[in-house]
Amino acid sequence: MVVRPRDDPRDAPGGDPGPRRTGGDLDLDGIRAADVIARGVRGAEPGEVPGRLCAVAVELLPVVGASVSLRGEGMPVQLSASSAQAARLAQIQATLGDGPCQSALHDGAPVLACDLTTGRDAGRWPVFAQQATEAGVRAVYAVPLGSDSVCVGTLDLYRDRPGGLTDRQLHVARLVAGVMTVALMALPRGAEAEPRDEEPWLSGLAADHDEVYQAVGMIMAQLGVGADDALARLRADAFARGCTALDAAREVIAHRRRFERY
């Protein structure tokens, strides 16, 4: 497989997109990408598939990290990430309830934030943009998982310098997202598909999400409020202290932090 150098001028902000690619070119790109995807997931256990596909996305595209999250009640359920940095960026978006991932979930279409350091993208998600750039990320691309009518989650791609995606790169990103969707929807869930002494794989991947909602339940009891208000208080507390909602949740569960009524 031929991979363009990462310093190719077509990757630069406003750079030359290169010759227009025909449908046949995109089909050829898809075939090459499919080979890499097949190699990346070969022999993987069900719970390893999301992580393997995140790694494949980083191999195929001019990005430094990738994460995958499912739509959840109140906040996305992070399933996997290619690196600690990518996992943190996903947690930041979940904590803020804002960012390209949230916009892609709402719109059901790819959201390409090509420059979080200035201009329209920085102004669209100002707090996320600031935290993302502090974490070393300058561009984020969120690609929906699901169908045209139902968005079930997002594949989020992170880049350490400003720049967009070419038609070919967006085509490949959509291909990886499509395979991710099929994998997540087709793989077994629930006790009936697993040995009784093993945890269903999706539940295991979403363990962090369970901690957040355990903390939300405790905050509901402490404040006498509903789930939405309790989650909002948890997010606000995390933001005020510069940590993620997951970090704040773990402190609540460990009884190191308690919420008081105003």
Q: What is the band of 187 on the pLDDT scale with cuts at 50, 70, 90?
A: low
Res 226 pLDDT > 90: no
Cα–Cα distance, 24 to 42 (Å, whole number)? 27
Between 28 and 230, the higher pLDDT residue = 230
Q: What is the pLDDT of residue 206?
A: 53
Mean pLDDT of 78-84: 91
Q: Are 230 and 219 in contact (CB under 8 A)?
A: yes
Global pTM? 0.71
Q: Mean pLDDT across the chain, nearest whole number?
A: 80
Going by C-alpha positions, the residue among 109, 113, 110 that lies closest to residue 99 is: 113
Q: How far apart are the first and last CA of the chain?
A: 60
- pLDDT, tens digit, 9 for 90 and up, residues 104-132: 988 899 999 999 999 999 999 999 999 99
Q: In this predicted model, what pLDDT tens digit does every residue of 13-51 receive, in sequence order?
A: 444 444 344 455 656 777 888 888 888 888 877 778 889
Contact between 156 and 169 under an 8 Å Cβ cutoff? The reply is no
The strands making up 111-113's β-sheet, listed across from edge to edge, are: 77-81, 65-70, 151-159, 139-146, 111-113
| More reliable by pLDDT, 156 or 25 | 156
CA dihedral over 22, 65, 114, 152, signed as positive or negative: positive
Listed range (36-45, 101-110, 191-200, 219-228) with the worst mean pLDDT = 191-200
